[in-house]
Amino acid sequence: MSLFGSFLSDEQFQCSICLDVFTNPSSTPCGHSFCMACISRHWDGSQVCRCPLCKKVFQKRPDLQINRTLREITEQFKSMKGVGGTIREKKGGTGGGRVSCTPDDFFDELKKLPQHLQSSAVMMSCQKRSKPSFPAATTPLASSVPDQSPIAALNNNYIHSPHSNPFIRTGGRRRFTVSGAAGSSHNLPICETHNRGIMIYCRTDGVCICPDCETEDHPDHDTVSVETEWMENKVLLSVSEQEIQEMIRQRIRKIKEIRTSVVELEAVERETTGSVCLFSTLMSTFERSQVELMEVMEMSRRAAEHQADAMIRQLELEVAELRRRESALAELARSDDHIHCIKTFPHLSSPPHAKDWSGVSLNIDLGTRTVYRSLVDLVEKFQEELENIAEQGFPAAALEPPPVRTQPRVKRIQEYALDVTLDSNTAHPRLVVSEDLKSVMCGDRTQFVPNNPERFDTVVCVLGREAISSGRHYWEVDVGGKTDWDLGVAKHSVSRKGKIKYTPDNGFWFLSLRNKSNYAFRTEPSTDVHLNVPPQKIAIFVDFEKGQVSFYNVDAKLHIYTFNDIFNESIYPFFSPCTNKSRKNSMPLIITPVTGSE
CA distance 469 to 381: 35
Q: Find out whether 178 and 144 touch, Cβ atoms under 8 Å.
A: no
Q: What phi and psi, each to the nearest 5 degrees, are found at residue 464? A: -80, 160
- The most distant pair of C-alpha atoms in the chain lies apart, rounded to whole Å, by 185
The predicted structure's pLDDT at residue 277:
87
C-alpha neighbours within 13 Å on the C-beta side of residue 79: 11
Distances, alpha carbon 102 to alpha carbons 8, 13, 99, in Å: 7, 14, 10
Kindly report the CATH class assigned to 4-128.
alpha beta
Please give the single-letter amino acid code of residue 147.
D
Residue 13 in contact with residue 20, Cβ under 8 Å?
no
Among candidate residues 194, 201, 192, the one with its CA nearest the CA of residue 142: 201
- Domain 140-229 classified CATH 2.60.40? no
- Per-residue pLDDT tens for 25-70? 999 999 899 999 999 988 888 888 889 888 888 988 998 899 888 8
Q: What is the mean pLDDT of each run of 10 residues along the chain (598 residues)?
A: 50 83 90 91 86 88 89 82 45 38 44 46 42 38 42 44 40 44 60 90 92 90 90 80 90 90 78 83 84 78 78 86 82 78 74 73 72 82 77 47 49 88 94 94 88 90 94 94 93 88 88 90 82 88 93 87 89 93 88 77
Bridge partner list, 468: 571
Question: Which pLDDT value is given to residue 97?
Answer: 38
Which of helix, strand or coil describes residue 594? coil
Which residues does 524 contact at the CB level (< 8 Å), separation at least 6? 503, 504, 505
Q: Domain boundaries in the chain?
A: 4-128, 140-229, 241-393, 407-592
435 Cα distance to chain centroid: 43
- Between CA 129 and CA 11 the distance in angstroms is 8
Cα dihedral 539→542→543→547 (10° resolution): 130
Q: How far is CA 406 from CA 296, 535, 555, 561, in A?
A: 35, 21, 20, 11
Q: How far apart are CA 519 and CA 80, in angstroms?
A: 110
- In total, the chain counts a number of residues equal to 598
Instruction: Judge contact between 437 and 422, C-beta under 8 A.
Output: yes
Query: How far is CA 133 from its chain centroid?
Result: 55
Q: Which residues pair with 99 in a beta bridge?
A: 90
DSSP 342-360: HHHHHHHHSPP-----TT-
CATH superfamily assigned to domain 407-592: SPRY domain (2.60.120.920)
Under a CB-based contact definition with an 8 Å cutoff, are residues 201 and 225 in contact? yes
What is the reported pLDDT for 164? 41
Question: CA torsion 335→340→346→352, rounded to 10°?
Answer: -60
Q: Please, what is the angle between helix 226-334 and helix 338-349, to 10°?
A: 140
DSSP output for 131-184: PP-PPP---HHHHTS-TTSHHHHHHHHHHS-TT--TT----------GGGGGGG
Contacts with 13 (C-beta within 8 Å, 6 or more apart), sequence order: 21, 22, 73, 74, 77, 128
CA gap 248, 567 in Å, rounded: 43
Q: Hey, what amino acid is at 468?
A: I
Same fold, 4-128 and 140-229: no
Angle, CA 88 vertex, CA 82 and CA 92 arms, to 5°: 160
Q: What is the dihedral of CA 231, 237, 238, 242, to 10 degrees?
A: 170
Write the pLDDT tens digit of every residue in 383-409: 888 777 765 554 444 444 444 344 566
DSSP 411: H
Task: Give the helix, strand, coil percentages of the chain, each rounded to 5.
Answer: 40, 15, 40
**CA–CA separation, 70 and 80 (whole Å):** 15
Is 199 in a helix, a strand, or coil? coil
Q: Is the peptide bond before 525 cis (omega within 30 degrees of 0)?
A: yes
pTM for this predicted structure = 0.37
SS3 per-residue string spanning 34-93 = EEHHHHHHHHHCCCCEECCCCCCEECCCCCCCECHHHHHHHHHHHHHHCCCCCCCEEEEC
Whole-Å CA distances, 297 to 200, 373, 494:
99, 14, 46
**C-alpha span between 561 and 538 (Å, rounded):** 11
